[in-house]
Structure 1
Amino acid sequence: MGELKKWGLWAIAAYLLFGLCIYYYLFVFANSSVPDIYKETSADPATFLNSRELVLSEEYSKIRDLLFFLSTPYEWLLYLFILIFGVSTVFEKWANQASRFQFVRNAVYLFWLSLLTFVLMFPIRYLSYHFSKTYHISAQEFGGWMKDNVIDFWVNYLIMLVLVTILYALMKQFPKKWWLASWILFVPFTFFLMYVQPVWIDPLYNHFYPMKDKQLESKILSLADKAHIPANHVYEVDMSEKTHALNAYVTGVGSHSRIVLWDTTLQKLNDNEILFIMAHEMCHYVEKHIYFGIAGYLLLAFVGFWITAKWMARWIDRHGQKLHIQSISQLRTLPLFLLIISILVFASSPISNLASRYEETRADRYAIEMTKNKEAAIESFQELTKSGLSQVNPPLLVKIFRYTHPTMLERIHMVETYPIKQK
């Protein structure tokens, strides 16, 4: 136990040191000012934000980025402590005492693990909500925010219960190749989840309905027809009771694919700006970005499962006796599995974000070519920046680990300099 306590102390010390370094990087070292070459252009936030908004966007962005970089290693710390201090072993004993049926045991164990991590992660989630409310990004009252968190808990719990039950059954059946069998079943599960998400999961949080403005919907559908996209409806979602930010996205696969607009976007942008955003989203459909994204995700998952299997086996060989772990298929190893997966997801995020930024750049260019309206594109980007208090030119580490879209500086400059081909 003495050695385990040393692990815990070293982990806490490393986390505190990391936190200090990130704070220094974001609040002291990093420079998010606009280069001189972009000054007084439409990409310069000083041309479309007032002095107060400029200050608030810098403050809020730094706080939000700090919470992001602190939350992920904090999650690792929780999993490590649950593992090395025997909490996971206690949860498995409770589960074994609850029933002789393995599925029920899985359910009991996962409930306690999920509840503990939910409670311990709650302070960081609440801080994120608090600051988004303070800076007038969130419009949601605490009760509504808690309701969404409870829904999140149960949705994630049920999905994890299915995955954990299958995963640990495969570990028992295939002790050496469980990672490969798990990935093979993970492929159809991913497609199934993306297929049902727009129909079963998303409506748990918000109300989706066909666009109310039929005249604007007709313009959007005409644009879809021009892009050879079979579409009968554009969906609207009531996000104004939760946020002041703007968004639009493509979700689902197959016949359940749909383009969704937040009602805040409809309230704050004019028709031409909305048509540009819709053309951008249509590119994701036309160029099959969703399917390329799934393929990349599954490729990373294949590598991730393999690495996780190797690391888990090595960890148990070296430290299994100290942690009272005899086999990888024991439920008490789940925090180790989640710890390694979380580390790999974070480590691979620069790659996935880079691919996403490439696709988003393609979508911006496609939208300009389709709408031939640079002014609408620039104004929509400016309003997105203003409503979300986003940095136009974020620090490099923030861009690498957080940005799935190009920075607004890059997007606006690209629009300004893009040579539109006239027919």
Structure 2
Amino acid sequence: MVVNAAYLIGTGGEAMILTALAAAAFDPEAATQAYLSTLNGAARAKSDAYFEGGYWLLLWGALVTVLVAWIELRFGWSAKWSGWAARVGKRRWLQPALYAFPFVLVTGLLTLPWTIYTDFLREHQYGLSNQSFAAWAGDALKALLVNLILIPPVLMGVYAVIRRSPKRWWLYGALVVSAFTLIGAVIAPVFIAPIFNSYKPMAAGPLRDQILAMAHAQHIPAENVYVFDASKQTKRISANVSGLGPTIRISLNDNLLNRTSPAEVKAVMGHEMGHYVLGHVWRGFLAITTVFLVLFLLLWWSAPRLLARYGQGWGVTEVSDPASLPLLVAIASVLFLVMTPVLNTIVRTQEAEADAFGLDAAREPDGFAAVSMKLSEYRKISPTPVEEFIFYDHPSGENRVRRSMQWKAQHLNEAP
């Protein structure tokens, strides 16, 4: 049917004509390039250098872990810690928990120079950190204390199945670690995150109401939005919908609130809600369980062979001895390095799904494109396809902007 333009104008159809003309004129690729052109020169070079340096950090981090494990084994420290745990803890099931204390403390001390460089010096070098060294050290000490609480029960569970099922401990060990991972996802928002940051209800106002309206429209059982003070530590912007059941919480950091527009905030929150609605917590749990199964199977195959060859000199002959832990950690670090593309693809796929969901939920394509450009402060905006496949656990900024503009082009005729 042909519609007469004069008839539309005469009956209040001006908006329909303008919308149709805008849809015909809008070029998503040109709009994408316009966004990308806002990052250039020194800022782009700095962003690229920071992210590309992270490629090497993966390798050097694995090598540091292997080196520290070798020191603990070669000089007999691990065997001594295990012997001490056996003397102090008369019951064998308790020994891995006792062993965890010297292991966590000494490993933390040996890796401290590397941690200071990666988490403090490098972040300041690229202008991403707001922390003094004293404040950073305070957070590092808190993290150490959290590890001293959480790691002992995990080791108790893992070494219990190693002792009781020599042939199938790879299966049960993976399930034990997966179960603790799920428990951590439940308790972290309420019991761990507040150790490092203060969480306060978002001030009443239109933006808060819009975020909650989005949540309720997606059947997310949250009655409040929390803001946490990440600005005392970093300049990065972030948000999340975390927890399960009674611990579910919608949170955004104050950097997101202070450095972005309401449209950008809504775009980010729509993305985060997508993770919840699309069941990424459970799908991620199944994916990480599969990864753990592969990891533990390779540990089960390789660790006894390495102990048979080198264990006598280390004073460690059985995988069931907690003294084998540095070896298991070293092997795991190498395997995780090799599996980097797989792990990143699992996460990146879910992030892309959440991007698409967030665009539909928030309907703020320009907001999402704009915030994607802000994330380029520490993510290379335009990687090669190989780079993105191997090193990116989120879609690249260029891809996110392009998909936002494509969504906009497809929905221009729906504009108010």
- Shift, 1:277, TM fit: 0.9
Seen in structure 2, the aligned counterparts of structure 1 residues 125 and 42 have a Cα distance that, compared at 3 Å, is farther
- Shift, 1:343, TM fit: 2.2
Deviations 1:161-189 (CA, angstroms, capped at 9, x unpaired) = 11112222332222222233333433433
Seen in structure 2, the aligned counterparts of structure 1 residues 109 and 227 have a Cα distance that, compared at 3 Å, is closer
Please tell me whether Structure 1 or Structure 2 has the larger radius of gyration of its CA atoms: 2
Seen in structure 2, the aligned counterparts of structure 1 residues 246 and 325 have a Cα distance that, compared at 3 Å, is same
Partner of 2:402: 413
Determine if contact 2:130/2:234 at 8 Å carries over to the other structure.
yes
Partner of 2:337: 346
2:366 alignment partner, one of 365, 375, 384: 375
2:82 is equivalent to residue 130 of structure 1: no
- Shift, 1:126, TM fit: 1.0
Determine if contact 2:130/2:231 at 8 Å carries over to the other structure.
yes
Determine if contact 1:67/1:124 at 8 Å carries over to the other structure.
no
Deviates most, 399-408 or 184-193: 184-193
2:71 is equivalent to residue 81 of structure 1: yes
Determine if contact 1:137/1:243 at 8 Å carries over to the other structure.
yes
Show structure 2 runs of 5+ residues with no match. Answer: 1-28
Partner of 1:30: none
Partner of 2:346: 355
Partner of 2:306: 315
User: Match of 1:278, SS?
Assistant: helix
1:249 alignment partner, one of 231, 240, 251: 240
Deviations 1:233-265 (CA, angstroms, capped at 9, x unpaired) = 122111111111111122222232222101000
Show structure 1 runs of 5+ residues with no match. Answer: 1-36
Determine if contact 1:369/1:420 at 8 Å carries over to the other structure.
no
Partner of 1:195: 186
Root mean square deviation, CA, Å: 2.4
In 2, distance between residues paired with 1:359 and 1:378? 18
Q: Percent identity?
A: 26
Determine if contact 1:43/1:413 at 8 Å carries over to the other structure.
no
2:208 is equivalent to residue 217 of structure 1: yes
In 1, distance between residues paired with 2:117 and 2:314? 34
Q: Which amino acid aligns with 1:409?
A: E
Q: Which amino acid aligns with 1:251?
A: S
TM-score (norm 1): 0.83
In 2, distance between residues paired with 1:273 and 1:71? 34
Determine if contact 2:270/2:357 at 8 Å carries over to the other structure.
yes
In 1, distance between residues paired with 2:141 and 2:100? 16
1:58-207 paired onto structure 2 within 5 Å = 58-102=48-92, 105-128=95-118, 129-207=120-198
Seen in structure 2, the aligned counterparts of structure 1 residues 300 and 233 have a Cα distance that, compared at 3 Å, is same
Determine if contact 2:215/2:273 at 8 Å carries over to the other structure.
yes
Deviations 1:42-73 (CA, angstroms, capped at 9, x unpaired) = 352xx223633233323333444433431122
Determine if contact 1:251/1:259 at 8 Å carries over to the other structure.
yes
User: Match of 1:236, SS?
Assistant: strand
Deviates most, 174-183 or 193-202: 174-183
In 2, distance between residues paired with 1:175 and 1:240? 48
Seen in structure 2, the aligned counterparts of structure 1 residues 57 and 205 have a Cα distance that, compared at 3 Å, is same
Instruction: State the aligned residue count.
Output: 383
Determine if contact 2:178/2:285 at 8 Å carries over to the other structure.
no
Seen in structure 2, the aligned counterparts of structure 1 residues 203 and 401 have a Cα distance that, compared at 3 Å, is farther
